[in-house]
Amino acid sequence: MLLQIHEPGETPLPHEQRGTAVGIDLGTTNSVVAVATDGTPEVLRDAGGAALVPSVVAYGADGVVEVGAAARRRLLDDPDLVVSSVKRLMGRGAGEARALAGTLPYRVAPPEPAEGGMVRLLVGGRRLSPVEVSADILRALKARAEAALGRPVERAVVTVPAYFDDAARTATRDAARLAGLEVLRLVNEPTAAALAYGLDHAAEGLYAVYDLGGGTFDISVLRLQKGVFQVLATGGDAALGGDDIDHAVAERFLAERRPEAAPTVAEVKQALATARLAKECLTTQERGEWLVEIGGGTSRHRLDRATLDEVAEPLVARTIEICRTVLADAGLAPDEIRGVVMVGGSTRMPIVQDRVAALFGRPPLVDLDPDEVVALGAALQAEALTAGSDTLLLDVTPLSLGIETMGGIVEKVIERNTPIPVARAQEFTTYQDGQTGMLFHVVQGEREMVDECRSLARFELTGIPPMTAGAARIRVSFAVDADGLLTVTAQEKTTGARQHVEVRPSYGLGEDEMARMLRDSMEHASDDMGRRLLIEARVEARRVLLALDAATKADAALLPADERAAIAAAAAGLERLLAGDDRHAIDAAVEELERLSRAFAQRRMDKAIRLALAGRSIDAVAAEAAPNPTE
């Protein structure tokens, strides 16, 4: 065994070949996939050179699913078969979808009792969850990446709006799993954009990212310092975006066309497509005329920039107001920001750029394509999480997390803008003598009353030993991981007895549903699982070999020759097994190796204790070796 001891943070393990990892911006209107090589990200284009994949899916009567430009073309001829802007429904309930009703060009239905709480879509005779539609978009992006790279792609960093709540994040992760992609990390879109921008410009200092997408608005304030991207505050509106401008313009067109009757679904889709075109044209031209053509009935509509600005004004004003709040949260004045990065196609609108420039007192940065910058950042992070990198993203929770208490008041457990990963716990007690169960309601949002926050999940803790009221100590722990995903656990502390916790997400998919979809989606699901376990077993085995090698070098004198020979033989045997595919044999050999080295480990510990007793702690030994260990 001639292996080097590695420095902390270095990557001692040989890279397991698991396909390339890509970055995916799963957008409301368009999606983009990119890959990074040696710190340089690149968008993956189709044969025609197009980077954007319209986030549109057509479900043909013949069972054929089309995604992207092809699906968008069918929007006008077969509007009933086409789904667009599905991102707005991720992790949403039927009630919330109804609130968006006028703005959605397809039919929605409440979930059946056996399904999770997420809304369903009725498209071309199918009943689909938003997760399945998003998975179809992700499959198309995966296929595009594989075609462009000529290699399998199985892992991805997927971006989400910073302001996405837990239900929407979970739905996004589930969609990727359905599409056969392992999610390395969910990264917030503005943070990804900052990563792409900051690395490209070697920027330092305070930056804001203004991200106006098709259906969501985010603003993040970050500090960039020597490769660390620290998010200080984030805010936004998960139901505000460029789509809203299209809808307002489309409504105008429809009123002009036939004010007396309600428009048909086909008319709405046609008008929306025309409105989007008009909005895009008016970025560069001052006025124009557009045609809405359906079933032979053609209508003409004039629109100029000033009128479009009037339509967009309330939306832009709302984004500026959110910017002010986020700056206040970060304790910053607008003029302390060194640059504002613009993200999202809607930031091309002159009125948006003017208002942002007015707020921050400087023109925004628009030199990276606002449609591509998020995917580029995601690709950089995908490379960092597979090959390693010098950059580090430190993000925050966008919304406060809490628990319902007496009277429908929210007790906040984790405040918004707390750095993640984070874990916090709160204690609760029983309010009745002999109470053995307790219901918890987990919510997300800033308001004091439960009804005004978003419900994430309900769960019941059972098996509390009967005690007098107020005697039980129930500790509820919230943990938010680096993906921004929440895990809640509860335990009764006085007895330490284990309790059963059943969590019911308010707007998710049922566990059975997800399992069934995964089965249906992956023909080789079990092969895939087996391969992942094999890779984990190999990584773990190499870790054990390296650790043992380091120990035998450090304390060679404590290892008698016979023991050394036995350990070396077992290690060599394990090395041979690593070349094969037998996961169980690898695991067994690892266990055997650990058993053989147990006595050696005990001797090493005894030696350290003797040194400590002799007044020579290992700290002191270390201090002798390095007289100035602190920075």
Partner 1 sequence: MSPTNPIDPATAHGLSACWSCQGPVAAGEPFCPTCGAVQPPGQADHFTRLGLPRAFDVDLQALDRAYFARQRALHPDRMARHSARERAIAESQSVSLNDAYETLRDPMRRAGYMLAAAGRPVAGDGATIDDHALLSETMEAREALMEAATETEVAALAARAAADRAACLADVAGAFAAGDLDAARRHATRLRYLVKLVEEAHRRRLSLAGKAA
User: Where does this chain bind partner 1 (CB under 8 A)?
Assistant: 5-9, 11-13, 15-16, 185, 225-226, 228, 230, 328, 384-388, 392-394, 418-423, 479, 481-482, 536, 539-540, 543-544, 546-548, 550-551, 554-555, 597-598, 601, 604-605, 607-609, 612-613, 617-619, 622, 630-631
By beta-carbon proximity to partner 1, the closer residue of 390 and 451 is 390
Among 228, 232, 160, CA closest to 192: 160
> 7 or 562: whose CB is closer to partner 1?
7
Contact by Cβ (8 Å): 477, 424: yes
Q: Which is nearer to partner 1, 314 or 361 (CB)?
A: 314
Neighbours of 14 (CB within 10 A): 10
| Catalytic residue check, 371 | no
Most distant CA atoms of the chain, gap in Å: 97
Q: For the beta carbon of residue 358, count every other beta carbon within 10 angstroms.
A: 11
**Interstrand relation of 30-37 and 20-25 (parallel, antiparallel or unpaired):** antiparallel
Pick 363 or 419: Cβ nearer partner 1? 419
Question: Backbone phi, then psi, for 362, in 5-degree steps?
Answer: -160, 150
CB of 6 to partner 1, least distance (A): 5
What CA–CA distances, in Å, run from 111 to 108, 269, 503? 9, 25, 18
Give the sign of the dihedral formed by CA 335, CA 338, CA 343, CA 346: positive
Q: Which of 174, 189, 244, 267 is catalytic?
A: 189
| Alpha helices, H only, 150-284 | 166-178, 189-201, 242-257, 265-281
Complex with partner 1: residue 459 or 478, whichever CB lies closer: 478
Whether 87 sits among the annotated catalytic residues: the reply is: yes
Question: Hunting for tokens 């290699």 — which residue is that?
Answer: 151
Decide if 410 contacts 448 (C-beta within 8 A): yes
> What is the smallest separation between the CB atom of 340 and partner 1, expressed in angstroms?
22
A 10 A CB-CB count for 317 gives: 11
Please tell me the distance from the alpha carbon of residue 426 to that of residue 412, in angstroms, as a whole number: 9
Q: How far is the CB of 237 from partner 1 (least distance, A)?
A: 16
**Rounded to the nearest whole angstrom, what is the least distance from the CB of residue 131 to partner 1 in the complex?**
25
- State yes or no: cis peptide before 421, omega within 30 of 0: yes
Pick the catalytic residue from 66, 211, 237, 243: 211
Tokens of residue 231, six digits: 């998010």
The minimum distance between CB 64 and partner 1, in angstroms, equals: 39
Cα angle value 133/136/138 (rounded, 5°)? 115
CB of 471 to partner 1, least distance (A): 17
Least distance CB 491 / partner 1 (angstroms): 17
Please say which residue, 497 or 554, places its beta carbon nearer to partner 1. 554
Looking up tokens 């991102």 gives 87
Annotated active-site residue 189? The verdict is yes
Catalytic residue among 66, 87, 154, 371: 87
With vertex at residue 51, the alpha carbon angle to CA 48 and CA 56, rounded to the nearest 5 degrees, is 100
582 part of the active site:
no
Other Cβ atoms less than 10 A from the Cβ of 491: the count is 17
Closer CB to partner 1, 12 or 408, in the complex: 12
Catalytic positions are 25, 87, 189, 211
